[in-house]
């Protein structure tokens, strides 16, 4: 136990004072005793001289009475204990002594009778002659008593002084240590975080100054503590809010060491993602140990490459779940430096397993027939293109088989679609089971199948075809109903012998298949030159049928490509572009069917559909915040047609469309070739409020001559002058001249085929009003929602 400072001070002072007083008492007693001894000695010496003179006279005269009288008188002296007078013969002449000191007692040579007396022997001589001696016992009780009294007085004085000293020291130490005790109490209070404690000292000494400084510090700390507590409460609230927010996010929020790849923090969602606790996620090497082996190298390499740059990036890869299965995650990360130039690697983990499965399913469905599981037509054509390129590169001969089931329409119509589906599934399984692993089979549509036989010549293909027919014949369907046996007609073509074009090969194989069907069905036929005429006619007939089917079943659609004001980057209007859909929903472009539509007299019906649909769409958007303006392509065959003008009027009325929001585009060639009719036709439609644009401007030799006589509102500069504008000086001169000419005639200019930023900048420099092209936007089935933001900027950055 450690004594307090005041106790140590009192004890120290008391010990020092006590020691000094003890020395004082000892020394004082010693001095007193010595002094009294000297006085006693002087007294005894004086008495001895007097006694000697008196006794010498009695001995010399042998006067016994005198001796007795002297001894008698001395007997009354309280300080003389005994007295014995001897003559020179050692005979006692006179004496007195207490009972315990008989005169015949023999005294020690030191002359000490006992502790209360002094034994003295005095010689008695006269003129040098010894007469005898006297033995005297002198009491020192008085001396001892005085010495004792003196010592007691000194002790009393010392004890009083010591007590006074202790009291004074205690008072002084209390005064001195009182401030220290308060300072100690303040320190202990501060140690316990009791910042409200204040030291109640107002003295002007050093301790008071320290106390005031302490109180000022405590006040400052108390205010700072209140502020910190307030900020801490806010931070705790914010932390709780952020933790709640982070834990409610369906993603793992994380921070990772960019070099060791160890996690520094993960949100609660981490436990749900992989089934491991958050603490396990923070273990060394957790991330790398759970990467899929196939992803480890490229993921780590990609992340290390990103460490040299700041910014955001994302990766898709697989991590192992605690159940052993791998899940797909999307890792979205941000790299940034703090003010101390420490690199921080933060981000999110999103579970995209279902997304990946959906992608795989979508990819599978995009490439496979949903009924049979075989490659669909598009994917089969891709495989065919690949096999053709491979055969051409290595000078190999391969074969394409086109298979059509016989009597399938009869089965489907008689027994129903479910039976028809069963027939297709059985045929697909039989065909697939009869092929090699390297062979490729796909369903081309309906009851048609295609097979690619790599590295197979004509004889090998015929053997395969006959084997397929035999295996199909072994399949008996619906024995309880019609007991149908499968058969098929097979067309064969060789590549690259017959062609290296996928579409031509399919058409050839299709023609060969029809020849086999014409020759009696259930057989195979190799394509030959005699099949070409049949192929051409068949192709045209098929396209006519497809076009009529599209008209009858509303399979034509419009796609809309924005035309943008190059000054404001706002959409000025859209061009309506025609597309046809096949049975699988695939888009077919006008270049594939318009020529045949013209030949078979279907083009007028298509034009009417486009016109009617465009006006309908415009009418539907008329009451929108920003109504749509559409540009519609017209054929020159309608020039002079009052029926077409009436059709426009009727459609405008029927759909409540705004004629000022319709722009009809006619090609320059068609307008010039039918100039008079075109001019009247254009004026008639402009009188309704419609506008006109001259398409493909600049291609005709008479463009500039006729432009001033055609009442058009816009000219579309032909794309052949625009597509190489940034590389061709002549094109730049021509386009600039067209722009200046049109501007001088108050006609707006539109540049098509705007495919890069350089072309865009040149057009803006020339003063072209509008732009259209893939750099700005692709045609889509829906209108662009951006009507105020820059499409160009978005498309360029994307």
Q: What angle do CA 566, 570, 571 make, to 5 degrees?
A: 100
> At residue 152, does pLDDT exceed 60?
yes
CA distance 670 to 508: 36
Q: What secondary structure, in 3-state letters, does 398-441 show?
A: EEEEEEEECCHHHHHHHHCHHHHHHHHHHHHHHHHHCCCCCCEE
Most confident of 27-36, 247-256, 606-615: 606-615
Answer yes or no: are the C-beta atoms of 430 and 475 closer than 8 Å.
yes
According to the model, what pLDDT value does residue 701 have?
Answer: 43
* Dihedral (CA of 545, 546, 551, 553) sign: positive
Most confident of 9-23, 195-209, 402-416: 402-416
- 601 three-state secondary structure: coil
- pLDDT above 90 covers what percent of the chain? 31
550-797 sits in which CATH class? Answer: alpha beta
User: Where residue 190 falls among pLDDT bands split at 50, 70, 90?
Assistant: confident
Q: Which long-range contacts (CB under 8 A, 24 or more apart) does 14-19 make?
A: 14/162, 14/165, 14/166, 14/169, 17/161, 17/162, 17/165, 17/166, 18/158, 18/162
> At residue 602, does pLDDT exceed 70?
yes
According to the model, what pLDDT value does residue 333 have?
Answer: 84
Q: What is the mean pLDDT of residues 157-181?
A: 74
The reply to whether 5-152 and 249-358 are identical in fold is: yes
Question: In sequence order, what E strands does 173-274 have?
Answer: 252-256, 263-266
User: Where residue 305 falls among pLDDT bands split at 50, 70, 90?
Assistant: confident
According to the model, what pLDDT value does residue 594 have?
Answer: 82
According to the model, what pLDDT value does residue 435 have?
Answer: 95
Q: Where are the domains of the chain?
A: 5-152, 249-358, 372-528, 550-797
Residue 327's DSSP bridge partners are 319
> At residue 480, does pLDDT exceed 90?
no
Answer yes or no: are the C-beta atoms of 534 and 511 closer than 8 Å.
yes
User: Where residue 355 falls among pLDDT bands split at 50, 70, 90?
Assistant: confident
Q: What is the mean pLDDT of residues 398-407?
A: 93
> At residue 159, does pLDDT exceed 60?
yes
According to the model, what pLDDT value does residue 251 have?
Answer: 84
Cβ atoms within 10 A of the Cβ of 190, count?
A: 15
Superfamily designation of domain 372-528: Reverse transcriptase/Diguanylate cyclase domain (3.30.70.270)
> At residue 106, does pLDDT exceed 50?
no
Closest CA to 444 of 471, 409, 405: 405
According to the model, what pLDDT value does residue 630 have?
Answer: 95
User: Where residue 91 falls among pLDDT bands split at 50, 70, 90?
Assistant: confident
According to the model, what pLDDT value does residue 669 have?
Answer: 67
Residue 189's DSSP bridge partners are none
> At residue 145, does pLDDT exceed 60?
yes
Nearby residues of 454 by Cβ (< 8 Å), 6 or more positions away: 387, 390, 391, 396, 398, 438, 439, 440
User: Where residue 2 falls among pLDDT bands split at 50, 70, 90?
Assistant: low
Domain at 249-358: CATH code: 3.30.450.20
> At residue 105, does pLDDT exceed 50?
no
Nearby residues of 211 by Cβ (< 8 Å), 6 or more positions away: 179, 182, 183, 186, 199, 201, 203
Q: Running DSSP on this structure, what letter comes out for residue 192?
A: T
> At residue 6, does pLDDT exceed 50?
yes
In the numeric block, which tokens belong to residue 93? Answer: 């002449």
- pLDDT above 70 covers what percent of the chain? 87
Residue 707 or residue 111, greater confidence: 707
Residue 536 or residue 165, greater confidence: 165
According to the model, what pLDDT value does residue 224 have?
Answer: 83
According to the model, what pLDDT value does residue 631 have?
Answer: 95
> At residue 790, does pLDDT exceed 50?
no
According to the model, what pLDDT value does residue 704 have?
Answer: 61
Q: Could you report the per-residue pLDDT of 709-755, keeping only the tens digit for each?
A: 778 899 999 888 898 898 988 889 889 988 988 888 899 999 999 99
- CATH ID of 5-152, from 3.30.450.20, 3.40.640.10, 3.40.50.150, 3.10.180.10: 3.30.450.20
Q: What is the mean pLDDT of residues 531-537?
A: 68
Q: What is the mean pLDDT of residues 586-608?
A: 83
Q: What is the mean pLDDT of residues 279-307?
A: 91
Answer yes or no: are the C-beta atoms of 519 and 529 closer than 8 Å.
no
Q: Could you report the per-residue pLDDT of 634-672, keeping only the tens digit for each?
A: 877 777 778 888 999 999 999 999 999 999 988 766 666
Least-confidence region, from 97-111, 195-209, 369-383, 483-497: 97-111
Enter the pTM of the model.
0.41
- Report the chain's mean pLDDT, rounded to a whole number: 83
CA distances from 674 to 644, 706, 765 (A): 16, 12, 35
Pairing of strands 398-405, 448-453: antiparallel
According to the model, what pLDDT value does residue 500 have?
Answer: 92
């Amino acid at each position: 136990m450690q004594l307090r400072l005041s106790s140590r001070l009192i004890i120290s002072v008391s010990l020092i004072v006590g020691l000094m007083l003890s020395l004082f008492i000892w020394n004082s007693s010693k001095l007193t005793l010595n002094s009294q001894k000297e006085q006693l000695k002087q007294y005894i010496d004086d008495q001895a001289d007097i006694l000697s003179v008196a006794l010498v006279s009695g001995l010399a005269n042998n006067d016994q009475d005198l001796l007795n009288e002297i001894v008698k008188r001395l007997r009354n002296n309280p300080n003389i204990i005994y007295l014995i007078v001897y003559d020179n013969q050692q005979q006692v002449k006179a004496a007195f002594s207490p009972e315990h000191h008989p005169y015949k007692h023999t005294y020690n040579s030191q002359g000490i009778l006992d502790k209360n007396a002094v034994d003295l022997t005095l010689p008695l001589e006269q003129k040098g002659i010894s007469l005898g001696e006297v033995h005297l016992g002198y009491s020192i009780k008085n001396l001892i008593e005085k010495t004792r009294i003196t010592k007691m007085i000194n002790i009393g004085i010392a004890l009083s002084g010591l007590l006074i000293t202790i009291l004074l020291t205690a008072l002084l130490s209390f005064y001195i240590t009182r401030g220290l005790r308060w300072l100690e109490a303040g320190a202990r209070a501060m140690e316990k975080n009791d910042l409200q404690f204040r030291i109640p000292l107002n003295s002007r000494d050093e301790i008071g100054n320290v106390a005031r400084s302490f109180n000022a510090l405590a006040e400052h700390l108390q205010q700072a503590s209140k502020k910190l507590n307030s900020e801490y409460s806010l931070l705790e609230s914010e932390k709780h809010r952020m933790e709640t927010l982070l834990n409610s996010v369906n993603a793992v929020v994380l921070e990772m060491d960019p070099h060791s790849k160890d996690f520094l923090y993960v949100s609660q969602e981490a436990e749900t993602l992989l089934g491991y606790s958050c603490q396990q996620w923070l273990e060394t090497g957790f991330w790398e140990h759970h990467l899929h082996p196939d992803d480890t190298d490229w993921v780590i390499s990609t992340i290390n490459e990103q460490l040299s740059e700041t910014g955001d990036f994302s990766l898709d890869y697989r991590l192992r779940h605690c159940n052993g299965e791998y899940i797909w995650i999307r890792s979205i990360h941000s790299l940034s430096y703090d003010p101390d130039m420490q690199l921080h690697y933060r981000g999110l983990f999103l579970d995209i397993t279902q997304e990946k499965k959906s992608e795989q399913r979508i990819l599978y469905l995009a490439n496979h027939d949903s009924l049979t599981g075989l490659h669909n037509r598009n994917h089969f054509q891709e495989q065919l293109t690949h096999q053709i390129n491979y055969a051409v590169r290595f000078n190999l001969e391969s074969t394409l088989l086109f298979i059509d089931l016989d009597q399938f329409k009869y089965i489907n119509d008689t027994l129903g679609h479910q039976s028809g589906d069963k027939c297709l599934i059985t045929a697909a399984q039989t065909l697939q089971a009869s092929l090699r692993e390297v062979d490729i089979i796909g369903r081309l549509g309906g009851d048609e199948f295609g097979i690619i036989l790599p590295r197979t010549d004509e004889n090998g293909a015929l053997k395969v075809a006959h084997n397929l027919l035999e295996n199909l014949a072994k399949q008996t369907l619906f024995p309880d109903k019609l007991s149908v046996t499968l058969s098929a007609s097979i067309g064969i073509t060789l590549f690259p012998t017959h062609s290296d074009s996928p579409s031509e090969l399919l058409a050839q194989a299709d023609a060969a298949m029809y020849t086999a069907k014409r020759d009696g069905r259930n057989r195979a036929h190799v394509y030959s030159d005699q099949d070409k005429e049949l192929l051409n006619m068949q192709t045209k007939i098929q396209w006519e049928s497809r076009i009529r089917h599209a008209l009858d079943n509303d399979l034509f659609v419009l796609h809309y490509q924005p035309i943008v004001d190059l000054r404001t980057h706002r959409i000025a209007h859209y061009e309506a572009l025609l597309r046809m859909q096949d049975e699988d929903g695939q888009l077919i472009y006008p270049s594939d069917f318009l020529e045949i539509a013209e030949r078979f007299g279907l083009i007028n019906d298509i034009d009417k559909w486009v016109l009617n649909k465009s006006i309908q769409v415009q009418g539907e958007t008329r009451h929108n915040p920003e109504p749509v303006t559409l540009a519609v392509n017209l054929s020159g065959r309608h020039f002079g047609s009052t029926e077409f003008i009436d059709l426009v009027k009727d459609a405008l009325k029927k759909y409540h469309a705004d004629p000022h929001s319709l722009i009809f585009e006619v090609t320059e060639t068609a307008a010039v070739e039918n100039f008079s009719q075109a001019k009247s036709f254009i004026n008639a439609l402009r009188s309704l409020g419609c506008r006109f644009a001259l398409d493909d401007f600049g291609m005709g030799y008479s463009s500039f001559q006729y432009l001033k006589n055609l009442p058009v509102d816009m000219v579309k500069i032909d794309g052949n002058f625009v597509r190489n504008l940034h590389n061709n000086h002549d094109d730049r001169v021509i386009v600039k001249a067209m722009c200046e000419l049109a501007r001088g005639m108050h006609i707006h200019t539109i540049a098509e085929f705007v495919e890069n930023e350089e072309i865009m900048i040149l057009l803006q420099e020339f003063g072209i009003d509008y732009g259209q092209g893939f750099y700005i936007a692709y045609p889509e089935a829906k209108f662009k929602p951006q009507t105020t933001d820059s499409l160009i900027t978005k498309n360029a950055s994307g």
